[in-house]
């Protein structure tokens, strides 16, 4: 084996190897996931019962803001980039990512961006406290001094995501093995390609938004300041023009993951491959024309509300196609339920529940009752936790044998799954009820009538937090002393990474391109 | 096949019984129907969507569960080989579209009704500011601030949902609300009326309600629903509904109260207050209105809420101090208290701030000084 | 596929993608004027238009529209500000004048900026102002008092169902930002 590679710290600092970078992304996102999770624990501890017990309201707002920012930009997005790094070259039969040096850059920016963001917690006036959506003028005129660090941090992580996206697009377009036509690519590659296009379309808009914030704060412009002729509602329009596609950026790669795993454990080809590709593309396209459904309460003209309501409801159609295709893939398959499959099934069911509440929220006249309540919190946690995070977890269990050559303990995996399943629902399902009962989001204290729901949610959240520690232990044990994995660990697995590579995959993949028929 | 079909039907009926029992038995698990035509409309629409979603879940999850049971490897060792079917895919693209059209139609009708604020009989301007609401009756000379009642204990049924001055409106009257804000964006929400509108600085938004007569005497409670800073969770919206006669009487009382308050203010301004009296009233007022941000010990939460102890304003010329209390400060959370406190309260609070916590300027500020300042002299 | 062509292919694609990214960054800023155009067309947020001319306007004597005037003084603004009348009933197309007053109660010169907003938002499209203090900033010396006229007409095309519209003016203190601007130009 000519599989030499440098060792020690410099290996990681200077590496241009897609596997090393993928691992770093995944571990980084896991660390961020634990930090963001710790903040969620602070939030849930405070909300465990009515009355202010642990933190004062301003710090509570800092926690909700930082929890959102870290989970979105630090945990979910980097974990998806980590999966892309590991899997895309292997799945398209490429030796590495197309732009390996840029790949190194795009990772190493992240620790600095998040150190900057986290350091704001220790600054005078505290961390950003205006919610992850940073609506003006609360974030501009009224923002704490650390807002400038937040702006710089967002710029840095934006640049990182953009570089990651460029890398994916160039790899997919230029590095495919001969014979690997676009419509033969695994669905994970497809969903990531579409995600990458969304990223390069909307991350610059986010960068533009925070740049305008910066000039509003320090250079006398008034983009969002009514007194100077600006408009705070315009901030929301521009933010959600980024923000809605961003939602799909977080979920589409997870769609790709379960579209790989469900066929593998059904021992049956994915049902409706091409309709899956078209559905993903239409979800991405629709995401550009639905942004204002986040802001029905700002007072839009009737025609605008109708347009955004109907466009949003349309998204249910391609999303439904995907769900039906997954079900049809399982139909008359030969199913087994290993951990990755369990997480993927939970993904389909719970994501669908999140989709249902999404359709409800899309309907403007009822949205006035749901908007900015815990119903919304329940909705987006249902699509993000059992969606994006279960998707990533399923991917980690599924490809761990390929990445490390070691198998996790199936019993531990199943325990992890059932704990996650129970606690996710215990945490987030009661939030539907507290929202319907009238509890606004982002409040540190509440009336007795919301007490039971919040207590259950908090208990669930603490359980969910501990479950992540269990996940970490399971992973570490698997990597250090797991059983040796087979080259094709899963009977029904397909794709180049399983058919053409040993486990663990060699440090340099496909020096000569594989043949694809 | 017959067994399979029975099983599907069985699972479906079981699920629907469980879900309907759950939804209907515990009404506190559901949205409140509220009391107005629009809120009941929203509730009905909500229930309609819930049932459609339950029906879809039964079909989709039912098929999945069926697969889990009958298509597991032990039962079905050789998987089928089909991987697409144009007709099936066409059908499940069309059916959701039909369902969506079915849902959209009532939603459009309700939305059109909700957005029609014309033909209203009275108008109230609702202004959000950090962290209180201000109501101004456009047809009458009535306006007041509505602050959270902070005296209630956690176990009080109205904890965080009680205010010092409720918004009062008559039944059977189309009331239009013109919603705006003084600093950041707030959102005015009363769940039972299905009224939620963002309050945006510089802009007005309108919304309306019309409460049927049988609800006279009831009180409806809601909260601010747009994150607006530190005390976002502490600015409730409380609306009291009166019969038309009671409302007229209330308007009259309000007018009398205003005249009496003006008289009292004039008397207070004419009198000269000694230091002790000012300090005593100052401390109560400070703890109630200022201590939330500047803290009871005067140390504040810098830099957003500056310390008053040893501050340049509290130890500098009295006029600057009066200015910031009366007029507030642009672009900060410091509100204008000129209309919220009486001249005597302002004089007292300023005196208190200038002498408490070792500021010891020795100054007294008299109600008359405030009156003169407000008049521009 | 040989290495050099691979590299130049990659470069070409990267340049294109960077072009898209740069374009989207600029697009974010282009959204600002686009948004204003959009508001102008749809009446989002009840933004009123700039100065209008009163020429060849047809007057519709068959119906009347009520226009209400609301004034708000933002915090940090020691001014009295209001309209002389609370509301007017006008014929669409007819040119009307309403007078506003402002008084600076403080001992400093203060620059004020009024921001207009119309509700219902759609009605903003039909409100034409031929003269308005809101087009400029107001500078009032300490204790100064002024009366400011606003001339407007409501377009006869205003939909039948709009029988009442509300014009609100929120007055902001912009003294500080005017100071920083003039300091920057000096």
Residue pLDDT, tens place only, A15-69:
999 999 999 999 999 999 999 999 999 999 999 999 999 999 999 999 999 999 9
Identify the helix (H) or strand (E) that includes residue A251.
helix A232-266
> What DSSP state is assigned to residue B134?
E
Q: Are residues C82 and C17 in the same domain?
A: no
Looking at residue C6, its pLDDT comes to 77
Is A486 annotated as catalytic? Answer: no
**Chosen from C67, C70, C71, C76 to mutate, greatest number of chain B CBs within 10 A:** C76
Is A402 annotated as catalytic? Answer: no
* Residue contact A352–B60, C-beta within 8 A: yes
Looking at residue C184, its pLDDT comes to 53
Q: Which residues of B touch A297 (CB under 8 A)?
A: 187, 196-198, 225-226
A305-335 pLDDT per residue, tens: 999 999 999 999 999 999 999 999 999 999 9
Q: Are A512 and A177 in contact (CB under 8 A)?
A: no
Nearest to A140 by CA among A45, A44, A221: A221
> What DSSP state is assigned to residue A71?
I
Confidence of residue B34 (pLDDT cuts 50, 70, 90): very high
In a domain, C181, yes or no: no
Looking at residue C52, its pLDDT comes to 76
Is A322 annotated as catalytic? Answer: yes
What SS3 class is residue C175? helix
Catalytic-role residue among A96, A260, A338, A367: A96
Per-residue burial over C2-17, b = 16 or more CB atoms within 10 Å of its CB, e = otherwise: eeeeeeebbeebbeeb
- Is 50 exceeded by the pLDDT of residue B98? yes
Q: For chain C, which residues lie within 8 Å of any Cβ of chain A, measuring from their own Cβ?
A: 6, 9-10, 13-14, 17-18, 20-29, 31-32, 35, 39, 42-47, 74, 113, 115, 119-122, 170, 172-174, 177, 180-181, 184
What SS3 class is residue B242? strand
CA distance linking residue A318 with residue A489, whole number of Å? 32
CA distance linking residue A108 with residue A129, whole number of Å? 27
* Residue contact B178–C46, C-beta within 8 A: no
Q: Which residues of A touch C121 (CB under 8 A)?
A: 299-301
Looking at residue B10, its pLDDT comes to 52
Block residue for tokens 């208290």 = B337
**Chosen from A140, A155, A167, A170 to mutate, greatest number of chain C CBs within 10 A:** A170
> What DSSP state is assigned to residue A387?
I
Q: Are A348 and A328 in contact (CB under 8 A)?
A: no
Average pLDDT over residues B134-144: 92
Nearest to A465 by CA among A37, A47, A27: A37
A151-209 pLDDT per residue, tens: 999 999 999 999 999 999 999 999 999 999 999 999 999 999 999 999 999 999 999 99
H helices of A363-484, in order, are 364-370, 374-383, 390-404, 410-437, 451-481
Largest CA distance in chain C: 82
Interface residue B182 vs chain C (CB under 8 A): yes
Alpha-carbon distance A350 to nearest alpha carbon in chain B (angstroms): 10
Cis peptide before B271 (omega within 30 of 0): no
Q: Are residues C140 and C161 in the same domain?
A: yes
Q: Are A162 and A200 in contact (CB under 8 A)?
A: yes
The CB density around residue B302, as the number of other CB atoms within 10 Å, is 10
DSSP letters of A267-328? Answer: TSPPTTHHHHHHHHHHHHHHGGG-GGGGGGGGT--HHHHHHHHHHHHHTHHHHHHHHHHHHH
Q: Which of B116, B118, B329 sits opposite C75 (nearest CB)?
A: B329
Task: State how many domains chain C has.
Answer: 2
Looking at residue C122, its pLDDT comes to 80
DSSP letters of A132-200? Answer: TTT-TTTTTTT--TTHHHHHHHHHHHHHHHHHHHHHHHHHHHH-PPTT--GGGS-HHHHHHHHHHHHHH
A380-409 pLDDT per residue, tens: 999 999 999 999 999 999 999 999 999 999
* Residue contact B72–A366, C-beta within 8 A: no
Looking at residue B7, its pLDDT comes to 52
Cis peptide before C120 (omega within 30 of 0): yes
* Residue contact C76–B127, C-beta within 8 A: no
In a domain, C184, yes or no: no
Q: C148: domain CATH number?
A: 2.60.370.10
**Position with higher pLDDT, B314 vs B17:** B314
Is A67 annotated as catalytic? Answer: yes
Average pLDDT over residues B87-108: 93
* Residue contact A212–C29, C-beta within 8 A: yes
Domain residues for the domain of C16 are: 1-42
Q: CA B94 from chain center: how many Å?
A: 41
Confidence of residue A473 (pLDDT cuts 50, 70, 90): very high
Nearest to A239 by CA among A358, A115, A135: A135
Q: Are residues C83 and C136 in the same domain?
A: yes
Q: For residue A447, what is the nearest residue in chain B, using CA coordinates?
A: B159
* Residue contact C105–B374, C-beta within 8 A: yes
Average pLDDT over residues B343-363: 90
Q: Which residues of A touch B296 (CB under 8 A)?
A: none
Interface residue B201 vs chain C (CB under 8 A): yes
C47-93 pLDDT per residue, tens: 776 777 777 778 888 888 999 999 988 888 889 999 999 889 999 98
Give B29's contacts (C-beta < 8 A, 6+ positions apart).
Answer: A433, A436, A437, B22, B23
Q: For residue B371, what is the nearest residue in chain C, using CA coordinates?
A: C105
Q: Which of B116, B178, B319 sits opposite C70 (nearest CB)?
A: B178
Burial class (CB in 10 A: 0-12, 13-18, 19+), A376: buried
Provide, rounded to the nearest whole percent, the portion of chain B with pLDDT above 70.
93
Q: Are residues C147 and C164 in the same domain?
A: yes
Looking at residue C24, its pLDDT comes to 93
Cis peptide before A45 (omega within 30 of 0): no
A400-444 pLDDT per residue, tens: 999 999 999 999 999 999 999 999 999 999 999 999 999 999 999
Looking at residue C155, its pLDDT comes to 87
Looking at residue C7, its pLDDT comes to 80
Identify the helix (H) or strand (E) that includes residue A506.
none
Alpha-carbon distance A377 to nearest alpha carbon in chain C (angstroms): 27
Alpha-carbon distance C22 to nearest alpha carbon in chain B (angstroms): 31
Looking at residue B25, its pLDDT comes to 41
Neighbours of chain A (3+ CB pairs under 8 A): B, C
Q: Which residues of B touch A141 (CB under 8 A)?
A: 184, 331
Q: Which of B72, B84, B233 sits opposite A445 (nearest CB)?
A: B233
Q: Which residues of A touch B41 (CB under 8 A)?
A: 365
- Is 90 exceeded by the pLDDT of residue A139? yes
Nearest to A389 by CA among A352, A347, A429: A347
CA distance linking residue A410 with residue B210, whole number of Å? 61
Alpha-carbon distance C38 to nearest alpha carbon in chain B (angstroms): 17
Alpha-carbon distance A158 to nearest alpha carbon in chain C (angstroms): 11
A115-125 pLDDT per residue, tens: 999 999 999 88
Identify the helix (H) or strand (E) that includes residue B213.
none
CA distance linking residue A361 with residue B51, whole number of Å? 15
Average pLDDT over residues A1-7: 57
- Is 60 exceeded by the pLDDT of residue A3? no
Burial class (CB in 10 A: 0-12, 13-18, 19+), B312: exposed
Interface residue A360 vs chain B (CB under 8 A): yes
* Residue contact C75–B319, C-beta within 8 A: no
Identify the helix (H) or strand (E) that includes residue B108.
helix B86-114
* Residue contact B201–A137, C-beta within 8 A: yes
Provide, rounded to the nearest whole percent, the portion of chain A with pLDDT above 70.
99
In a domain, C180, yes or no: no
Q: Are residues C50 and C38 in the same domain?
A: no
Mean pLDDT estimate for chain C: 85
CA distance linking residue A41 with residue A461, whole number of Å? 7
Q: Are C127 and C92 in contact (CB under 8 A)?
A: no
Alpha-carbon distance B141 to nearest alpha carbon in chain A (angstroms): 27
CA distance linking residue A362 with residue A38, whole number of Å? 31
B275-310 pLDDT per residue, tens: 999 999 999 999 988 988 899 999 988 888 899 998
Q: Are residues C15 and C72 in the same domain?
A: no
Alpha-carbon distance C59 to nearest alpha carbon in chain A (angstroms): 27
Task: Provide CATH code, domain B2-115.
Answer: 1.10.287.90
CA distance linking residue A362 with residue A314, whole number of Å? 10
| Measured CA angle at C131 (ends C128, C133), to 5 deg | 115
Neighbours of chain C (3+ CB pairs under 8 A): A, B
* Residue contact C177–A212, C-beta within 8 A: no
CA distance linking residue C102 with residue C169, whole number of Å? 12
Spell out the domain ranges in chain B. 2-115, 122-256, 271-375
Is A294 annotated as catalytic? Answer: yes
Interface residue B303 vs chain A (CB under 8 A): yes
In a domain, C161, yes or no: yes
Looking at residue B21, its pLDDT comes to 44
Q: Which residues of B touch A324 (CB under 8 A)?
A: 60, 89, 92
The CATH architecture annotation of domain B271-375 reads Orthogonal Bundle (1.10)
B211-258 pLDDT per residue, tens: 999 999 999 999 999 999 999 999 999 999 999 999 999 999 999 998
Catalytic-role residue among A20, A46, A216, A246: A246
Confidence of residue B1 (pLDDT cuts 50, 70, 90): very low
Q: Are C130 and C51 in contact (CB under 8 A)?
A: yes
CA distance linking residue A25 with residue B245, whole number of Å? 69
Superfamily of domain B122-256: Cupredoxins -  blue copper proteins (2.60.40.420)
The CB density around residue B332, as the number of other CB atoms within 10 Å, is 17
B149-205 pLDDT per residue, tens: 999 999 999 999 999 999 999 999 999 999 999 999 999 999 999 999 999 998 999
Q: Are residues C23 and C54 in the same domain?
A: no
Q: Are residues C29 and C56 in the same domain?
A: no
Give A383's contacts (C-beta < 8 A, 6+ positions apart).
Answer: A247, A251, A351, A354, A355, A358
3-state secondary structure C67-87: EEEEEEECCCCCEEEEECCCE
DSSP letters of A127-150? Answer: S--STTTT-TTTTTTT--TTHHHH
Neighbours of chain B (3+ CB pairs under 8 A): A, C
* Residue contact B118–C162, C-beta within 8 A: yes
Q: Are residues C28 and C116 in the same domain?
A: no
Q: Of chain B residues 107-146, which have a CB less than 8 A from chain A? A: 107-108, 110-112, 114-115
- Give just the sign of the alpha carbon dihedral A202, A205, A211, A212: negative
Looking at residue A4, its pLDDT comes to 59
Phi, psi of B174 (to 5 degrees): -80, 110
Q: Are residues C102 and C168 in the same domain?
A: yes
Mean pLDDT estimate for chain A: 94
Check for a shared fold between B2-115 and B271-375. Answer: no
B59-73 pLDDT per residue, tens: 999 999 999 999 999
Average pLDDT over residues A4-25: 86
Average pLDDT over residues A102-130: 94
Phi, psi of B56 (to 5 degrees): -65, -40
Average pLDDT over residues B2-6: 53
Q: Which of A166, A228, A231 sits opposite C174 (nearest CB)?
A: A228
What SS3 class is residue B188? strand
Alpha-carbon distance C185 to nearest alpha carbon in chain B (angstroms): 23
Q: For residue B156, what is the nearest residue in chain A, using CA coordinates?
A: A448
Tokens for A60, please give them. Answer: 């509570």
What SS3 class is residue B52? helix
Mean pLDDT estimate for chain B: 89
Q: Which of the residue ranges A133-137, A460-464, B113-117, B122-126 would you say has the lowest mean pLDDT?
A: B113-117
Looking at residue B15, its pLDDT comes to 53
Q: Which residues pair with C70 in a beta bridge?
A: C168
Looking at residue A26, its pLDDT comes to 97
């Amino acid at each position: 084996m000519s599989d030499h590679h440098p060792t020690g710290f410099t290996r990681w600092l200077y590496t241009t190897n897609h596997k090393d970078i993928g691992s770093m992304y995944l571990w980084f996102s896991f660390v961020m996931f634990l930090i963001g999770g710790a903040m969620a624990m602070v939030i849930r501890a405070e909300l465990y019962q009515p009355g202010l017990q642990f933190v004062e309201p301003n710090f509570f707002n800092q926690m909700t803001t930082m929890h959102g920012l870290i989970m979105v930009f630090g945990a979910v997005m980097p974990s998806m980039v980590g999966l892309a790094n590991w899997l895309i070259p292997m799945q398209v039969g490429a030796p590495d990512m197309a732009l390996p040096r840029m790949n190194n850059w795009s990772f190493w920016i992240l620790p600095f961006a998040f150190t900057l963001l986290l350091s704001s917690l220790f600054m005078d006036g505290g961390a950003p406290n205006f919610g992850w959506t940073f609506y003006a003028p609360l974030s501009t005129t009224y923002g704490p001094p650390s807002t400038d660090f937040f702006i710089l941090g967002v710029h840095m992580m934006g640049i990182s995501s953009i570089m990651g996206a460029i890398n994916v697009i160039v790899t997919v377009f230029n590095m495919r093995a001969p014979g690997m036509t676009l419509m033969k690519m695994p669905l994970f590659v497809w969903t990531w390609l579409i995600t990458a296009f969304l990223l390069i379309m909307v991350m610059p808009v986010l960068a533009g938004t925070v740049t305008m914030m910066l000039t509003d704060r320090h250079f006398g412009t008034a983009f969002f300041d009514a007194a100077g002729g600006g408009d705070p509602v315009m901030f929301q329009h521009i933010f959600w023009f980024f923000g809605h596609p961003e939602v799909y950026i977080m979920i589409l790669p997870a769609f790709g993951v379960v579209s790989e795993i469900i066929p593998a454990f059904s021992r049956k080809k994915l049902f409706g491959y091409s309709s899956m590709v078209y559905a993903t593309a239409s979800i991405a396209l629709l995401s550009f024309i639905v942004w204002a459904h986040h802001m029905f309460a700002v007072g839009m003209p009737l025609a605008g509300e109708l347009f955004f309501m109907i466009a949003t409801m349309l998204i249910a159609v391609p999303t439904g196609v995907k769900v039906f295709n997954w079900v049809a893939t399982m139909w008359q398959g030969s199913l087994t339920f290993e951990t990755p499959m369990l997480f993927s099934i939970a993904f389909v069911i719970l994501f669908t529940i999140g989709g249902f509440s999404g359709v409800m929220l899309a309907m403007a006249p009822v949205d006035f009752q749901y908007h900015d309540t815990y119903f919304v919190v329940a909705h987006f946690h249902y699509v993000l936790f059992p969606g994006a995070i279960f998707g990533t977890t399923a991917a980690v269990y599924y490809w761990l044998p390929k990445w490390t050559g070691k198998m996790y303990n199936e019993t531990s995996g199943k325990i992890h799954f059932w704990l996650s399943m129970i606690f996710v629902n215990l945490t987030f399902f009661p939030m539907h009820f507290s929202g319907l009962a009238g509890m606004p989001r982002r409040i540190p204290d509440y009336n007795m009538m919301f007490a039971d729901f919040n207590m259950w949610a908090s208990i669930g959240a603490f359980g969910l937090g501990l479950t992540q520690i269990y996940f970490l232990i399971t992973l570490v044990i698997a990597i250090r002393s797991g059983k040796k994995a087979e080259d094709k660990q899963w009977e029904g697995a397909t794709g180049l990474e399983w058919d053409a590579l040993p486990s663990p995959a060699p440090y340099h993949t496909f020096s000569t391109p594989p043949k694809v028929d | 096949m017959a067994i399979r079909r029975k099983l599907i039907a069985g699972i479906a009926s079981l699920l629907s019984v469980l879900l309907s029992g759950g939804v209907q038995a515990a009404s506190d698990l559901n949205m409140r129907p509220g009391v107005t035509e629009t809120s009941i409309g929203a509730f009905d629409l909500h229930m309609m969507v819930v049932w459609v979603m339950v029906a879809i879940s039964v079909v989709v999850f039912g098929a999945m569960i069926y697969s889990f049971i009958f298509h597991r490897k032990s039962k079905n060792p050789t998987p089928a080989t089909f991987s697409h079917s144009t007709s099936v895919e066409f059908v499940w693209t069309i059916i959701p579209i039909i369902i969506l059209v079915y849902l959209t139609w009532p939603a459009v009708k309700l939305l059109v009704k909700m957005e029609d604020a014309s033909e209203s009989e009275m108008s109230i301007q609702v202004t959000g500011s950090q962290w209180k609401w201000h109501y101004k009756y456009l047809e009458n000379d009535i306006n007041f601030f509505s602050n959270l009642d902070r005296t209630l204990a956690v176990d009080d049924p109205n904890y965080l949902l009680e205010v010092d001055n409720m918004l009062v409106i008559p039944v059977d009257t189309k009331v239009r609300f013109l919603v705006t804000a003084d600093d950041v964006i707030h959102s005015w929400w009363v769940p039972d009326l299905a009224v939620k509108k963002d309050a945006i600085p510089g802009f007005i938004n309108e919304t309306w309600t019309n409460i049927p007569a049988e609800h006279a005497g009831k009180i409806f409670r809601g909260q601010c629903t747009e994150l607006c800073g530190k005390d976002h969770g502490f600015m409730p919206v409380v609306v009291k509904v009166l019969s038309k006669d009671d409302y007229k009487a209330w308007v009259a009382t309000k007018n009398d109260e205003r005249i009496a308050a003006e008289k009292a203010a004039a008397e207070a301004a004419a009198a000269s207050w000694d230091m002790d009296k000012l300090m005593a009233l100052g401390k109560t007022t400070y703890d109630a209105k200022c201590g939330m941000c500047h803290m009871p010990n005067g140390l504040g939460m810098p830099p957003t809420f500056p310390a008053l102890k040893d501050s340049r304003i509290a130890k500098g010329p009295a006029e600057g101090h009066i200015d910031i209390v009366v007029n507030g400060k642009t672009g900060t959370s410091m509100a204008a208290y000129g209309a919220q406190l009486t001249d005597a309260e302002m004089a007292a609070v300023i005196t208190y701030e200038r002498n408490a916590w070792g500021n010891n300027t020795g100054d007294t500020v008299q109600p008359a000084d405030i009156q003169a300042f407000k008049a521009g002299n | 596929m040989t290495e050099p062509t691979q590299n130049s292919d990659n470069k070409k694609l990267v340049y294109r993608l960077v072009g898209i990214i740069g374009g989207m960054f600029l697009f974010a800023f282009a959204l600002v004027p686009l948004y204003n155009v959009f508001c102008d067309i749809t009446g989002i947020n009840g933004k009123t238009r700039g100065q209008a001319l009163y020429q060849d306007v047809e007057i519709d004597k068959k119906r009347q529209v009520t226009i209400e005037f609301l004034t708000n003084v933002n915090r940090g603004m020691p001014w009295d500000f209001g309209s002389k009348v609370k509301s007017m009933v006008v014929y669409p197309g007819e040119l009307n004048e309403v007078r506003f007053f402002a008084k600076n109660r403080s001992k400093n010169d203060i620059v004020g900026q009024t921001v207009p907003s119309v509700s219902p938002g759609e009605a903003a499209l039909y409100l034409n102002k031929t003269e308005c203090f809101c087009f400029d900033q107001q500078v009032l010396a300490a204790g100064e008092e002024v009366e400011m006229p606003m001339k407007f007409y409501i377009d006869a095309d205003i939909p039948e169902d709009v029988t009442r519209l509300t014009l609100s003016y929120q007055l902001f203190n912009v003294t500080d930002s005017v100071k920083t601007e003039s300091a920057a130009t000096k």
